[in-house]
Amino acid sequence: MNNSKKKERQERILDAALKLFTERGYFNTTVNDIQFASKMSVGSLYNYFENKESIAVTLYSNLENCLYEALCEIEQQNVSMHDCCHEAVRHIFENTERTPSAMQYLLYTKHREFMPVEKTAFASLPFLKMKTWVEQGQAMGEIRAMDSNVAMNAIFGSAIRMVFLRIDGILEDPLTDYLEECWQCSWRGVSTDE
């Protein structure tokens, strides 16, 4: 079959699933809902994906890769670990505004409950990348010496909680409005500068 058409139909399923999973949750979304939202029959859907779980897994894997690549690019364009981390937070904030469902699914959702295979979010590639930054920053003396998990959370924890607040509809203004204020608190907490 036409390969690009195949791709297009898969995308349509994934888009519909992402929307539904984030709006109502995985368990409150039926295969029929996805089928209906993607304007496709159940039969077709099962032609493209083995089952409902496999849709969720593909979705997660795609979004995870996407974030990982963004982090790699940030890494290439910045030298100090301060800048890398800062740009990572900016990227996450901007993308939460641009594609809220994607960020919600990636950061907010409890995947383990419906993807038994999947490792915890803290063992995902993007998180590991960010952790190496923190450890490098500590080795280079930019970031105070302390347990690297603590440092990691001190730098990114409050930012991620901001994403949660935004997703839950508590923050009315776009996340990017809070970026600098939020970042300065985080960095002040771990920086070796007085």
Q: Which residues bind a second copy (CB under 8 A)?
A: 24-25, 27-28, 108-110, 112-114, 120-123, 146-147, 149-151, 153-154, 156-162, 164-165, 168-171, 178, 181-182, 184-190, 194
- In order of 75, 92, 156, 160, the CA distances from 88 in angstroms are 9, 6, 9, 11
- Piece of the chain touching DNA by CB under 7 A; list 38-46, 60-68, 118-126, 172-180: 38-46
Which has the closest alpha carbon to 142: 187, 185, 184, 191? Answer: 191
CA distance 17 to 105: 11
Complex with DNA: residue 56 or 92, whichever CB lies closer: 56
CA distance 117 to 57: 9
126 and 67 in contact (C-beta within 8 Å)? yes
53 near DNA, rule: CB under 7 A: yes
Complex with a second copy: residue 37 or 121, whichever CB lies closer: 121
CA 147 to chain CA mean position, Å:
24
CA distance 61 to 119: 11
Report, in Å, the least distance between residue 1 CB and a second copy: 36
Using CB under 7 A, pick the residue from 44, 58, 62, 136 that binds DNA: 44
106 and 60 in contact (C-beta within 8 Å)? yes
Complex with DNA: residue 29 or 96, whichever CB lies closer: 29
Site track 2-31 with DNA (rule: CB under 7 A), x = hit: ---xx--x-------------------xxx
- Where along the sequence are the contacts to DNA (CB under 7 A)? 1, 5-6, 9, 29-32, 40-44, 46-48, 51-53
